[in-house]
Amino acid sequence: WLRYLRYLEEKVTDNTEIIRDVYERACTIHHKKKPNLHLHWAVYEEMQGNYEKAGEILTALEKVVPNLIQVIYRRINLARRSGDVATAADLYEHYIDKAKNRVIANNMTIKYARFCWKILNDIDRAVSILKKALEKDKENPRLYLQLIDMALQRTPVDEGEVIGVIDIYLARDNAELEQRVMFAQRKIEFLEDFGSNVKSVQKATDEFQKLLKQLQEKKKKSEDNKKQEEPNLKKTKSDQKDSSGPSYNASQMSQPPASTGQYSAPNYNQSGGYSQPPAQGGYNQGYNQQPPYNQQYNQQYNQSDPNYNNYQNWGYSQTGYGNYNQGWGGYNYY
């Protein structure tokens, strides 16, 4: 169907009615639940300036294939491109309230806040939307980062607003310690660039050093626990190896010695020989191959949310803070 439609669209002659007829038959008769075809049809109608028909196509598709995020964003952006920003805002609010997945709801909230900020030129409304989302997800760093970014875009920059957002996150004891350290570092950077009182810079530095010390102690404790577990694993492996020895040797004692020429001496270097480690060694290998603490944390944290992959760092290179030269956790709140 798509190849035929592409062929018709590339022809010089006006095939508008023929193309519409093909889309109609493909989407309403043969492939009622094929999102790709319906989305192409909606794009075609929008290109013809028929926004109303494009909206009807997307609405009908959503009924037969509900909760498809691509359809949701197509409906919102179609309304925005057509100039109906009120409908776009209503759709954002509808889908945010309807979302059952927190990650999707937060992503949509950030997009809605940016829509209010950049399209409606209403930054106060955008801030209000983000704060409402934080009531449901109080430890989400992406929401705080978006609030910080909006506050930084104000002219002049409101020092109290930016520091207020950072301090709220730093006060969250349940927030990840690594993220709190990075927010504390960001606080120092901001106060150095925009702060009006050097005492606040010194206070922020002390707070950062305190959190950094907690993080280092946490990492050291994790490393110590790992070292304590390794001897136990080696001892378990040795015990298992010793317990398997007598059984093997006893079986060999019943055999005539190799010097008789009737039996060749066993080759212990071959597969299955006694010199090979027992099967339980696989556990020890797996344990030793685990990534270090920081790497393991970053992998687990980023995987909890697939949308966190490939996010931009804040790109600040710091010195003088205990060599804690880390980026902003790889967030791209855009």
Nearest to 58 by CA among 81, 27, 83, 30: 27
- The beta-carbon contacts of 47-52 under 8 Å, at least 24 apart in sequence, are 48/16, 51/78, 51/81, 51/82
The single-letter DSSP state of residue 116 is I
* pLDDT of residue 216 exceeding 80: yes
Is 311 or 233 the better-scoring residue by pLDDT? 233
- Tell me if 305 sits within 8 A of 176, measured CB to CB: no
* In-domain check, residue 53: yes
Distance CA 22, CA 1 (A): 8
Whole-number Cα distances in Å, 170 to 175, 208, 315, 324: 8, 10, 21, 17
Token readout for 231 is 């001897």
Report the pLDDT averaged over residues 194-218: 95
Distance CA 22, CA 116 (A): 38
Report the pLDDT averaged over residues 244-269: 40
Is 16 or 282 the better-scoring residue by pLDDT? 16
Report the pLDDT averaged over residues 211-221: 93
User: Given this model, what pLDDT does residue 9 score?
Assistant: 74
* pLDDT of residue 283 exceeding 70: no
User: Given this model, what pLDDT does residue 318 score?
Assistant: 37
Residue 216 φ then ψ, to 5°: -65, -40
Q: How many domains does one find in the chain? A: 2
Report the pLDDT averaged over residues 235-262: 47
pLDDT confidence tier of residue 268, bands split at 50, 70 and 90: very low
* In-domain check, residue 274: no
User: Given this model, what pLDDT does residue 223 score?
Assistant: 82
Report the pLDDT averaged over residues 20-29: 83
| Residue where a domain terminates, one of 222, 245, 269 | 222
* In-domain check, residue 99: no
* In-domain check, residue 24: yes
* In-domain check, residue 203: yes
pLDDT one-digit tens code per residue, 170-189: 999 899 999 999 999 999 99
* In-domain check, residue 261: no
| Residue where a domain terminates, one of 50, 65, 80 | 65
Report the pLDDT averaged over residues 15-31: 81
Q: Name the least confident of 7-16, 97-106, 312-321.
A: 312-321
pLDDT one-digit tens code per residue, 135-168: 999 999 999 999 999 999 999 999 999 999 999 9
pLDDT confidence tier of residue 86, bands split at 50, 70 and 90: very high
User: Given this model, what pLDDT does residue 306 score?
Assistant: 39
| Residue where a domain terminates, one of 16, 37, 65 | 65
- Tell me if 71 sits within 8 A of 54, measured CB to CB: no
What is the pLDDT of the chain when averaged over all its residues?
A: 75
Cβ count near 206 (within 10 Å)? 11
Q: How far is CA 315 from the centre of its chain?
A: 18
Whole-number Cα distances in Å, 308 to 1, 133, 162, 303, 334: 36, 18, 23, 8, 11
pLDDT confidence tier of residue 132, bands split at 50, 70 and 90: very high
Question: What is the three-class DSSP state of 33?
Answer: coil
* pLDDT of residue 327 exceeding 60: no
Alpha-carbon radius of gyration of the chain: 31
- Tell me if 302 sits within 8 A of 330, measured CB to CB: yes
Report the pLDDT averaged over residues 260-282: 36
Is-above-0.85 flag for pTM? no
* In-domain check, residue 244: no
Nearest to 127 by CA among 104, 153, 101: 153
Place of tokens 């959190």: 211
Percent of the chain with pLDDT over 70: 66
Nearest to 324 by CA among 213, 223, 174: 213
Q: Name the least confident of 61-70, 122-131, 211-220, 229-238.
A: 229-238
* In-domain check, residue 180: yes
- What is the Cβ-side half-sphere exposure of residue 296, based on CA atoms within 13 angstroms? 10
* pLDDT of residue 307 exceeding 70: no
Residue 189's domain comprises 156-222
Distance CA 244, CA 72 (A): 63
Alpha helix (H) ranges present in the chain? 2-10, 16-25, 35-47, 51-64, 69-81, 85-98, 102-114, 123-134, 141-152, 159-170, 177-194, 198-253, 281-288, 293-303
Is 140 or 232 the better-scoring residue by pLDDT? 140
pLDDT confidence tier of residue 294, bands split at 50, 70 and 90: very low
Nearest to 182 by CA among 1, 324, 39, 334: 324
Q: Name the least confident of 61-65, 78-82, 238-242.
A: 238-242
Q: Name the least confident of 87-91, 223-227, 229-233, 278-282.
A: 278-282
